[in-house]
Amino acid sequence: MLQNHRAAHALRRPINFVFDAFFMRNVRYAPDSDSVNITSIGCFEDISWSRAIPNLEGQDPRLDRANCKRRTDAIEKCAFVAKQRGNKVFALQDGGMCLSSSTAHKTFQKYGTSSQCKSDGRGGKKTNHVYVIGGIKGMITLFICYL
């Protein structure tokens, strides 16, 4: 029942793609004992001197700043770090840099949308591939709170 092959090559652990429409995908990722539902909400512009979403690199052992572009399971690792911090939204930029904060759900659109994200789900140069934690329920909650 895999319907979204665009992101499958970037993720190395078992994945069940449940929902895919209008640039959104709901991914269930289940490592050893935890799981997290995430939904892609798209690609957004960013600038380095005043980020739309703060950088989490180096703030958790899973996010080694020196190797973010070569990080295996970058989306999953960023999702789990963001979830453990209680954040609703996270993003990847430039091939794997992890971004998130408690206010990211309010700031991710700060510079508008972009078409410059790569198809691997890991953002692009000065562009964030943004995800919401909580699947469809998280999306509904995010947009109700954002309106």
pLDDT digits (tens, 9 = 90+) for 116-132: 999 999 999 999 999 99
Q: Tokens at residue 109, please?
A: 């659109």
Residue 20 lies in a domain: yes
Residue 23 lies in a domain: yes
In degrees, rounded to 5, the angle at the alpha carbon of residue 57 between the alpha carbons of residues 108 and 135 is: 45
**CA–CA distance, 143 with 147 (Å, rounded to integer):** 6
Q: Could you tell me the residue range of the domain that residue 70 belongs to?
A: 8-146
pLDDT of residue 144: 56
- Per residue, the 3-state secondary structure of 23-52, as one string, reads CEEEEEECCCCCCEEEEEEEEEECCCCCCC
Residues 6+ apart with CB under 8 A from 78: 56, 63, 90, 91, 92, 98, 99, 100
Residue 15 lies in a domain: yes
Residue 103 lies in a domain: yes
Q: Which helix (H) or strand (E) holds 130?
A: strand 127-133
Residue 42 lies in a domain: yes
126 in Cβ contact with 47 (< 8 Å):
yes
* Residue 132 amino acid letter: V
pLDDT of residue 66: 73
Residues of the chain with pLDDT under 50: 1-33, 147
pLDDT digits over 60-75, tens only?
A: 988 977 778 888 889 9
**CA–CA distance, 82 with 121 (Å, rounded to integer):** 16
Residue 3 lies in a domain: no
Residue 109 lies in a domain: yes
pLDDT of residue 134: 80
Domain count within the chain: 1
pLDDT of residue 80: 92
